[in-house]
Chain A
Amino acid sequence: MSEKTKRIDLRSYLKGDSNNIKLIAMLLLSFAVLCIATKGAFFSGNQVVLIAYLFPEMGILALGMMLAMISGGIDLTVVAVADLAGILSCMFMKAIMPEGAGLAVQAAVLVITLLFSMGVGAICGIFSGSLISRVGIPAMVATLGASDIILGLAVGITNGSSIKDLPPILNQVVNYRLLGFIPVTTLVFAACAGVVAFILNKTALGFKIYMIGSNQTAARYSGVNNAKILTLTYMISGMLSSISGLLMCGHFNSARSDFGKSYLTPSILICVLAGVNPNGGKGKVAGLVIAVIILQTLSSGFALFQNISDYYKNLIWGLVLIVVMIINVTSERMRAKKAGK
């Protein structure tokens, strides 16, 4: 490829995806501000590795949320599914792990547990997806109700207490750093993001998800089986949530019905920040990845300041969400006006 075509590609890329450039600028800015505010303490390899270790839990939930939002709905069950899948798979793993098993057996058990967990997520997703697509309940209410049912199951099963004494392999794997610095969680996130990007960009399913999100009626009359596609969308979202749930269990080395509680607003915030249109039809994985890292950077940054209590986090997330929505909407309207002229 010649130098010239490359440059043109880059320019058209910049034009088409100005949102990503904005996001990268925001990421660098927030990083710089935090470095200055902490007098350079924030700019350390440890901090970067810590951010890379922590963001996948939230990020994978946001990936599921994004799929639902692109299809024109919303998935409020992500947190509940993560909790239920975490609890059930921890119980499952404890039950099938043989005493004094070798490393190979332990690894095999872990893989089976992961599959089991994704199965739980898929069932939950199919449940809420069917409520939306076949029973016809609006996505918001359906997932609100389904989330109560799923979380209710989690609370009921555990009586609200936590499941401890897990086989150590889960914690070891989740906390493992490849080559000493790449956290396994980051690799898991990269795999999930890759799969979602592949589905959205390269498969008929992804194209149909965008179609349904832009105009459900038009999609149906063009021969798209809306019910099937929507159920699949929520199923994938459920599977992603369950992976995140397993990561949380590994991180805390236990399972509880309220681990993910604080992740719901941030995961919606990440999607909105990433430029996913809450009305459907728009959104890219690349933007989401940057948005997740921004949020985790800010979150880790706040943790360094002793005088900012955790409670202010809510306030800041809410403010950022509202401000980003205002910016997105006004800039889109200005663009539409320009195009109209």
Chain B
Amino acid sequence: MDIKKILKRNEFYVSIIIVALALLIQIKSGQFFTSNNIMDLVRSLIVPGMMAAGLFMVIASGNIDVSFPYTAMLCMFGITKLFQVIDYQGPVVLGFLLAAVIGAFLGLINGVLAAWLKLPTLIITLGTCAIYLGFTQGVLKSSVISVLPDPLADMAAHTLFTVRSATTGLGSSMPISIVMLIGTLLVVGFIMKYTMLGRGIYAVGGDPVAAERVGFNVSAIRIFVFTFMGLIGGVTGLTQVTLSGMCQINFFDGYEMTIIAAVVLGGASIAGGSGTVFGTFLGVLLMKLISNNLILLGIPTNWSKLMTGVLIIAGVSASAYKAVLSEKRVSGNILKTGEKEAKQ
């Protein structure tokens, strides 16, 4: 790939910002490039990274989903409670499979409603997210589970490797679920780049009418992206349990915003039809880099919400404004030729 092409890519600029920010934090605090900090950063990427990969597909298809944190929450409490009630002792994989099935079903509901009603998916998923939240809090009566069932506790205790800081003696470990993050990113990357389905997702996001004319099944693609998002939502819910060693109702508070921001920062147009999974990952990295190191940067945590908002707006402004300018050029040309014709 030649340099000019690289310079045009959004990923390039996000990478530069990430490196610059890392250096800034290092200079300001001297604590960025420590094995502990890096390890904690990677650890905190797992759940948002997987969610962002799924949401990237939804956004690339020109839709939006704000219900996935609640899907995750429902699966997290549902399965942990189920394991507790039946005193389950078998392999933990079954739990993840079940989470995937429940999540996929909840996503399917979103997808079918979106394909059928053809209303803004934000409003549809706002409705379903209220249902999922109400179900978790009302029917499952969930707020906190502090003692996990054995299979989940085992998985939480297992780690790939641990690093120990020589100076402080604090250890940070690499959880097994990092494998799932890598797997999800690879699967999404493969689907989007090398399959007809992926082409279809971009096509529907670019222009649903044109995609239909070309022969893509627009409804089926809509249903697929939402189901896939639900599936990932379900799996991440259980992953979060094994990462934090407990269930809490506020784990995913505000996740919908952060993840949308991450995907958009990663270069996916919110109108659909563009973006890459690598860019999305960089977007998540940038978001987490900022939110994890606000204190190292000297910003009080009370202002972190403001930072998310500024990041979203800053991330979308450049590409949106470019589109406005190009449209102005086009309509300007039309008006000009119209004037010329009128003169003649």
- Chain A positions within 8 Å of B, measured between CB atoms, are 74, 131, 134-138, 140-142, 144-153, 155-156, 159-160, 220, 264-265, 268-269, 272, 278-279, 309, 311-319, 321-322, 325-326, 329
Whether A144 contacts B260 by the Cβ 8 Å rule is yes
The smallest C-beta distance from B230 to any residue of chain A, in angstroms, reads: 16
The winner among A131, A144, A159 for most chain B CB atoms within 10 A is A144
The smallest C-beta distance from B269 to any residue of chain A, in angstroms, reads: 9
Q: Which residues of B contact A322 (CB under 8 A)?
A: 113, 124, 127-128, 131
The winner among A146, A147, A149, A150 for most chain B CB atoms within 10 A is A149
Taking A140-B120, A329-B117 as contacts, is the C-beta distance between A152 and B134 under 8 angstroms?
Answer: no
Taking A136-B324, A141-B316, A329-B119 as contacts, is the C-beta distance between A318 and B128 under 8 angstroms?
Answer: yes
The smallest C-beta distance from A278 to any residue of chain B, in angstroms, reads: 5
Whether A315 contacts B130 by the Cβ 8 Å rule is yes
Segment of B83-91, B235-243, B306-314 in the binding face? B306-314
Q: Which residues of A contact B321 (CB under 8 A)?
A: 135-136
State in angstroms the CA–CA spacing of A309 and B135 once bound together.
12
Whether A155 contacts B320 by the Cβ 8 Å rule is no
Those of B166-189 within 8 Å (CB) of chain A: none
Contact with A along B216-260 (1 / 0, CB 8 A): 000000000000000000000000000000000000000001001
Given A134-B324, A155-B302, A264-B126, 18 additional A-B pairs, CB 8 A: A131-B317, A135-B321, A136-B323, A140-B120, A140-B122, A141-B312, A141-B316, A149-B313, A151-B305, A152-B303, A278-B119, A278-B123, A314-B131, A318-B128, A318-B129, A318-B132, A322-B113, A329-B117
Name the one of B123, B271, B306 contacting A272, with C-beta atoms under 8 angstroms.
B123
State in angstroms the CA–CA spacing of A141 and B270 once bound together.
8
Name the one of A138, A149, A155, A318 contacting B131, with C-beta atoms under 8 angstroms.
A318
The smallest C-beta distance from B144 to any residue of chain A, in angstroms, reads: 15
Q: Which residues of B contact A309 (CB under 8 A)?
A: 137-138
State in angstroms the CA–CA spacing of A264 and B133 once bound together.
14
State in angstroms the CA–CA spacing of A15 and B316 once bound together.
45
Name the one of B113, B134, B306 contacting A312, with C-beta atoms under 8 angstroms.
B134
State in angstroms the CA–CA spacing of A132 and B122 once bound together.
17
Whether B257 contacts A144 by the Cβ 8 Å rule is yes
Q: Which residues of A contact B128 (CB under 8 A)?
A: 318, 322
The smallest C-beta distance from B104 to any residue of chain A, in angstroms, reads: 19
Please list 9 pairs of residues, one from A and one from B, whose beta carbons are closer than 8 Å in the complex, sorted by A's number.
Answer: A135-B321, A140-B64, A147-B309, A151-B309, A272-B123, A279-B119, A311-B137, A318-B132, A322-B131
Name the one of A141, A152, A264, A268 contacting B306, with C-beta atoms under 8 angstroms.
A152
State in angstroms the CA–CA spacing of A220 and B135 once bound together.
45
State in angstroms the CA–CA spacing of A66 and B96 once bound together.
42
Whether A144 contacts B312 by the Cβ 8 Å rule is yes
Whether A321 contacts B120 by the Cβ 8 Å rule is no
Name the one of A142, A146, A150, A325 contacting B119, with C-beta atoms under 8 angstroms.
A325
Name the one of B120, B271, B306 contacting A278, with C-beta atoms under 8 angstroms.
B120
The smallest C-beta distance from B330 to any residue of chain A, in angstroms, reads: 11
The smallest C-beta distance from B294 to any residue of chain A, in angstroms, reads: 12
Taking A137-B317, A315-B134 as contacts, is the C-beta distance between A321 and B306 under 8 angstroms?
Answer: no
- B264 on the A face (CB < 8 A): yes
Q: Which residues of B contact A321 (CB under 8 A)?
A: 123, 126-127, 130
The winner among A74, A220, A279, A314 for most chain B CB atoms within 10 A is A314
State in angstroms the CA–CA spacing of A309 and B140 once bound together.
12
State in angstroms the CA–CA spacing of A134 and B139 once bound together.
45
- B118 on the A face (CB < 8 A): yes
Whether B117 contacts A148 by the Cβ 8 Å rule is no
